[in-house]
Structure 1
Amino acid sequence: MATETLTYGNGTSLQASNLPLNGSSAGKPVDIAMDARRVFEVLKNGGLAIVPADIGYGLVAIDPKALERAFVTKQRQPHKRHAMIGSYALHKELHVLPEREANMVELLTRDIDLPLGVIAPLKMNHPIVQKLGSETLARSSVDGTLAMLVNGGKFQDELVRLTSEAGLPLMGSSANLTGKGTKSLVEDIEPEILAVADIVLDYGKRKFSEPRPSSTMIDFRNVEVLRFGACYDVIQDVLVRFYGITLPEDPGRGANFSGHLREAAKR
């Protein structure tokens, strides 16, 4: 499958393509509905896509074989897990949390409008979860939980709406080689990652790139931080202010580049 590159702004393309620009049919540089539909068509036919989220670019798939291709290309270690690309609505459908913790997620992602990686127990009998298949589920779930990126931006919400309505799981991770950090610009994505994608959607620099791209990840079974990420200082303030929960300080990328607390603890 030849790679499609949908470009942003001035029309500069990273790969040769005779396709129209993002939103060109409407005379504007970005058309989220059209772009999401085109990406969805690639994904449901077994493709891999590089797509924008507010916290950086992601490499996503629906088909398990495409997901494995992404895993191998990223050079991920076997212990690494796939995450679900989701929305607040999908989180409500698939995750199971007590009222207090559910209210925390709603406050952070809906009321205060922050991106967040939510880890919570999963409804294993939900049709979208069943579509993952046993092998993909085993590589995505830990102790019956699943990580889901919630509130990743308008494009992500539209793409997730399409996949959810079709009853399909959208899975993935950041569009970069393992250990090299989430990319806020398409032109910073490694050539190996660009080459494996069947479609690349370039929306320019992502909203949250400093001090960290990627999402803050919290296990809401015990409100434990697993990764420092975007808007972490705001999340810290919200949880201590409204729930009396004090989260650890982020030591910064110099001390912990990936932001993963458990990986840092093993060093």
Structure 2
Amino acid sequence: MGVLDPEADALRIFDAMMAGGVAVVPLDVAYAVFGTNAEAIRTIYTAKGRSFSKPNGTLANLDIFREVHDVDSRAREVVEAITVDYDLPLSIVGKHREGNGFTAALDPFCYERSTKNGTMDLLMNAGPLHRALTALSRDRGQPIMGSSASVSLGGSKFRLADVEAPVRDAAAICVDYGLCRYNNPLAISSTIIDLGTYEVHRFGVCYDQIRDILARHFRIALPPMPERGLVRGAALGEPAHG
């Protein structure tokens, strides 16, 4: 593996997805699998053995978040504090803004698989390749959707070699950046927080830091991280989003 080039790799990934393919992508939080159309999303669900009742996550930056999520100013400040001021990854569940120009590009199947009860899960600030992909996604007006690059209930994967064969074999492109930044023995990925209720949908990486930020700056009290065995179980239980 040579010098990493996130911008060039993002273009290769995006082109492969726009041609109808599935992509296995290294993010800071874990390897993930993405697509941009109904055929690719069906392929992902089949390869993972994932229930179609479980929605995808969508890659986002601040511009996408501001357009797609219909949330109050406090929620926007929370997201910016965590992802910009403290530079941490975060998945956020928020009310989907109906009629926005960005998700208007989704066909009915992809829309149904990427929303739940009027909300959408957005993954924010998950590393250099995530940053380059979300810039392309925003510029081209094409949402990028997916979930962890693992079979259902298989736990997050932090090396490409550890991604199970059915998922790798389904991909038109796999990009290898070695070990993910936030690799951990619990096999947990990003923390997921609901911006409407501040419920924790998934206890994930950087959770204690995120909890501290919300308590100190916003007086929002989140529960402590569960004990090791319990958080592992929660990570494998496939949250409502992501």
- By the TM > 0.5 criterion, same fold? yes
What residue in structure 2 maps to residue 76 of structure 1? 50
What residue in structure 2 maps to residue 203 of structure 1? 177
The answer (yes or no) to whether the contact 1:227–1:261 under 8 Å persists in 2 is no
- Computing the radius of gyration over CA atoms, which structure comes out larger, 1 or 2? 1
State TM-score, norm by structure 1. Answer: 0.84
Query: What is the deviation of 1:109?
Result: 0.6
Mapping of residues 9-158 of structure 1, within 5 Å: 9=2, 29-158=3-132
3-state DSSP of counterpart to 2:147: strand
- Structure 2, unpaired ranges of 5+: none
- 1:248 aligned to 2:223? yes
Query: What is the deviation of 1:90?
Result: 1.2
CA change 1:226–1:260 in 2 (3 A) is farther
Q: Distance in 1 between matches of 2:53 and 2:62?
A: 27
Query: What is the deviation of 1:89?
Result: 2.1
Q: Distance in 1 between matches of 2:218 and 2:101?
A: 34
Query: What is the deviation of 1:161?
Result: 1.1
CA change 1:88–1:253 in 2 (3 A) is farther
CA change 1:157–1:222 in 2 (3 A) is same
What residue in structure 2 maps to residue 177 of structure 1? 151
The answer (yes or no) to whether the contact 2:204–2:235 under 8 Å persists in 1 is no
State TM-score, norm by structure 2. Answer: 0.93
The answer (yes or no) to whether the contact 2:26–2:177 under 8 Å persists in 1 is yes
Q: Distance in 2 between matches of 1:245 and 1:119?
A: 16
Q: Distance in 1 between matches of 2:25 and 2:79?
A: 24
Query: What is the deviation of 1:71?
Result: 0.7
By relative contact order (CA 8 Å, sep 6+), the higher-ranking structure is 2
Q: Distance in 2 between matches of 1:261 and 1:248?
A: 19
What residue in structure 2 maps to residue 190 of structure 1? 164
Query: What is the deviation of 1:124?
Result: 1.9
CA change 1:197–1:234 in 2 (3 A) is same
Query: What is the deviation of 1:78?
Result: 2.8
3-state DSSP of counterpart to 1:78: coil
- Structure 1, unpaired ranges of 5+: 1-7, 10-28
3-state DSSP of counterpart to 2:120: strand
Name whichever of 89-98 and 246-255 sits farther off: 246-255
RMSD over aligned Cα atoms: 1.8
The count of corresponding residues between Structure 1 and Structure 2 is: 238
The answer (yes or no) to whether the contact 1:225–1:261 under 8 Å persists in 2 is no
Higher helix share: 2
Query: What is the deviation of 1:121?
Result: 1.0
Per-residue CA distance 1:5-32 (angstroms, 9 max, x = gap): xxx24xxxxxxxxxxxxxxxxxxx2111
